[in-house]
A and B are shown apart, each in its own frame.
Chain A
Amino acid sequence: MLIYLRKRIVSSALPLVVVIVGVFALARMTGNPASLYLPLNATQQMRDDFTARNGLDQPLLVQMADYFGGVLRLDFGQSLRTGQDAAAMALRAFPATLQLAATTMVLAVVLALVVGCWAALKPNGIADRISSFISMAAASIPDFWLAIVGIWIFAITLGWLPTSGVSGASAWVLPIATLLLRPFGVLVQIVRGSMVSALSEPYIKLARSRGAGELRVVTHHALRNAAAPALTVAGDLTVGLVNGAVVVETIFGWPGIGKLMIDSILQRDFAVLQAAVLLTAVAIFALNILIDMGYALLDARVRPVTVKA
């Protein structure tokens, strides 16, 4: 397992380099930060000084080489906006997003398992139809629309929840509800589908013939077989949450990595943007490795072959 893990980490390095190069080049296409950070009546001399001071006068390849040199020394540069260490800013913002994403995914997975199994017990039954309607609706509603409607109803009209911020538990409700809906809807359909097919397998019949009751059949025999597709999709949806986080964190003023990215793009704060993207990419790679290990945990047939001593 350790050998496998090391292989995976090493093989992740190249895609990470590609990500950095891409973000590096794209960020610089947004324009010169000088026009944002200097007063409107700044002279050409001031602009050239600013550009030179931040190394932006060098050819792109040289800038990139400098940056990679820094990354290897774990120096990710400074923020143009605040002058702080870019990596520190990204790391500070990350936990807020992680909390939001983790809570959302745990809730989505648990709810989807319950609803999906319930629906799968009787295909085309009443429970199946209700859950299919709910999950279709949940998967189709755009998150930015839901966020704004949610704010309007629960924060402005009813006044039950705050419009934004991170003060207290009530501030979590709207961001999580917004993020939750799509993963929940998609996962219900995946769980339902794979449970229906698992429940029709001969080994389920055989388990019943040994006296296993309905609950045991569903939770013990079918669910573990049905879990792999759900795990794949849950991983993909978690990555998608980063996307959702940009929207949701911006709308709800949540001080996470999504908001940091948007702010950095708007401010042409290249170093911070790169650090934030790199951190997110690393997190996604780690997540994928975890998911692959999850498969192996669920099903012995996909475990990496280990040579016995």
Chain B
Amino acid sequence: MKTAAEQAPATAAAHAGTSAAQAKAHDVVLQVQDLAVDIRTHRGTIRAVNSVAFEARAGETLALLGESGCGKSMTAKALAGIMDPVCDLADGQIVLNGTDLAALTPKERLKFAGPELGIVFQDALTALNPVYTVGTQLGEAFRIHRGLNAKQARLEAIDLMKRVGIPEPESRVNSYPHQFSGGMRQRILIAMAVALNPSLLIADEPTTALDVTVQAQIMQLLRTLREEGQMAVILITHDLAVVAEEADSVAVMYAGNVVESGPVAEVFADPRHPYTKGLLESVPVHLERGAELNSIPGSPPELHDIPPGCVYQSRCPMVQAICRAERPALRPVTPPVSGAGAADGAGLTPAQDSRAITPISAEGRPVRAAACHFSEEISNG
């Protein structure tokens, strides 16, 4: 039996080795196109996710940003193949490392669940099975996909717990979920998702249920794991600050549609969709005491009653006749004339990441895209 100190470097090397073979940085790992999800209800079928498209790249974080009910979690579940029984994948491709997951049978997809794709939920307590030890649950992926026995799987579980920074893993491996704190449970959940070094990690509001200090630790852990394994991370959140700090690119969702996407720095500095602009303006910074907070008037449309034309028309301050008649497609928009500096207007400072700020179309970086008839007029530039 090796000591922990001896084992740790070997483990790290093994992980690095696997991931290096898997993907180079910035390679497109996941490509989603025309994704549509329907929900069957008593009042008929409603489309909760509509023609959603985005890319996730190795070693980068893509944020899916939007308010409650905008379809971001639904999108995540569709990607992971764990939709509720009343939901159907109505359309689209989910191409993960060259395989279209949407075209596979549920049984075929199980082979990808774990080795290729991991998911982390918001509430770690309900996401962990209360009647099994965390060791059993952490080891399960190894038993299913690698055919390890209980003893070997337990060792892998201990390794994983070390990797995500859980103290005393040798004894804690036999504890039950309710015996851990919220932050530790979230670490366990993350460990479970990265157990088999997947190329894509989906994190569905991983810090919403945690206090601020722990949130920062969890985000740091996700960042470390992303870099170690060159994983593509899809971060689902409604928190603009988290997006600004953590993500490389962002897809803003509204009423089931992606309304704007692109590198975070550019989108936040120069929003090209009135919804994104409204969101950024509602962040309470640089405000006088007693001044009214900015907000977007109205509320999102009911999903079973989305009007023809633009999904945002009812709340848009600059709505025109064409917006009520024709739904704008998500189309590339011209890059801003002047890049940085405009961030001040939004009140948020995007990540100080030179790579993201540099104009990048030459390198094949994600292009700016917006679904608005007047995206050029909105530009701050």
Contacts and interface: CB of A to CB of B under 8 A. Distances in A.
Interface in B117-168: 117-119, 121, 123, 126-133, 140-141, 144-145
A212 interface: yes
Q: Interface size bucket, A side?
A: 20 to 34
Say what secondary structure dominates the interface of chain A.
helix
Interface string B291-327: 0000000000000000000000000000000000000
Contacts of B113: 208-211
A160 interface: no
A197 B41 CA distance: 19
A210 B127 contact: no
A201 B126 contact: yes
A14 B96 CA distance: 67
A208 B82 contact: yes
Given A201-B126, A205-B77, A211 B121 contact: no
A216 B127 CA distance: 17
B192 A210 contact: yes
B110 interface: yes
B121 A206 contact: yes
Most B CB within 10 A of own CB, among A210, A211, A298: A210
Given A202-B121, A300-B176, A209 B82 contact: yes
Contacts of B85: 122-123
Contact of B130 (A205, A216, A299): A299
B328 interface: no
B131 A299 contact: yes
Nearest to B129: A203
Contact of A211 (B123, B128, B145): B145
Contacts of A238: none
Contacts of A299: 130-131
A212 B140 contact: yes
B144 A211 contact: yes
A298 B178 CA distance: 15
Interface string A196-222: 000011110111111111001000010
Contacts of B286: none
A202 B123 contact: yes
Contacts of A211: 110-115, 141, 144-145
B130 A210 contact: no
B48 interface: no
A301 interface: yes
A225 interface: yes
A122 B84 CA distance: 12
Contacts of B80: 209
A300 B111 CA distance: 31
Contacts of B107: 213
A205 B82 contact: yes
Q: Interface size bucket, B side?
A: 35 or more
A206 B140 CA distance: 11
Nearest to A121: B85
Contacts of A298: 131
B359 interface: no
Interface in B233-254: none
A206 B122 CA distance: 11
Contacts of A129: none
B81 interface: yes
A72 B192 CA distance: 59
Contacts of B140: 207, 210, 212
A209 B144 CA distance: 12
A221 B137 CA distance: 10
A80 B253 CA distance: 85
A299 B131 CA distance: 5
Interface in A9-47: none
A301 B178 contact: yes
Given A301-B176, A301-B178, A209 B118 contact: yes
Interface in A65-101: none
Most B CB within 10 A of own CB, among A122, A207, A216: A207
Contacts of A207: 129, 140
B347 to A, nearest CB: 35
Nearest to B123: A202
Given A201-B126, A213-B107, A208 B81 contact: yes
Given A211-B111, A211-B114, A211-B144, A203 B128 contact: yes
A98 B116 CA distance: 53
A225 B141 contact: no
Contact of A206 (B133, B145, B176, B192): B192
Given A208-B81, A208-B113, A209-B118, A301 B141 contact: no
A209 B130 CA distance: 17
26 contacts: A123-B85, A202-B121, A202-B126, A203-B126, A205-B82, A206-B119, A206-B121, A206-B127, A206-B128, A207-B140, A208-B81, A208-B82, A208-B110, A209-B82, A209-B193, A210-B113, A210-B114, A210-B144, A211-B110, A212-B110, A212-B140, A213-B107, A213-B110, A216-B144, A225-B129, A298-B131
Pairs of residues from A and B, 5 with the lowest C-beta to C-beta distance, nearest first: A211-B113, A211-B114, A203-B129, A205-B82, A300-B176
